[in-house]
Each structure stands twice: as C-alpha cells, then as structure tokens.
Amino acid sequence: MLIRNKKKEVLSVISARLVGKIKLFDTNNKCGFIERRYGSDVFFNIEDMIKGQFEYLKAGDRVEFTVIKGQNGPEAQNIKFIYRY
C-alpha cells in the first residue's frame, strides 16, 4: 500500500491504521513520539497530523495513525486524535 504526503511524494506504508497514545509532545519543536502497544515508539511531526487536531494535544491522548518508512526509521503519518482519558 502506498500513500502520498503533503508534498505529493509517494511513501511506503509499513502498517495499516494503528491506535496508540502520545508518549511525548514537545510544543516548541512541534514533534514527539507515539507509544505503540507492540513495537517501538514512533516519531511524529505536527505536520503529519490531520489539520486542526494538534492544538490541544497532550501526553496520554489516544491517536490513530499509519506507520511509514521514514529516513531515520518508522514515522507516524495521517495522525488523528481519538480521545483523552
């Protein structure tokens, strides 16, 4: 399965949609890590979130995302906020 990023580049998808929680979110750098239930944590950049969903993002929030093959390892893409505990 292939998807395109905002620059219309084709990306290789590693997994289908997954659910995880925000482990760390740095508001200054606008990036962080998503904790997966199985496997290592996945890096994300705020640009990879679905538009308008990052304003209230906090550690512990549940998100849905796709994992792609990034330059430095797996990255989260098309991140969608689901709920907060």
Pairing relation of β-strands 10-12 and 2-4? Answer: antiparallel
Total structural domains in the chain? 1
At 13-69, the pLDDT tens digits run 566 788 999 999 988 888 999 998 888 899 998 887 777 666 678 899 999 998 888
**Token pair for 7:** 């620059």
Structural domain including 39 reads: 2-83
At 12-26, the pLDDT tens digits run 556 678 899 999 998
What's the one-letter identity of residue 49?
M
Q: pTM for the complete prediction?
A: 0.77
CATH of the domain at 68: 2.40.50.140
Q: Which of 15, 21, 26 is nearest to 36 (CA)?
A: 21
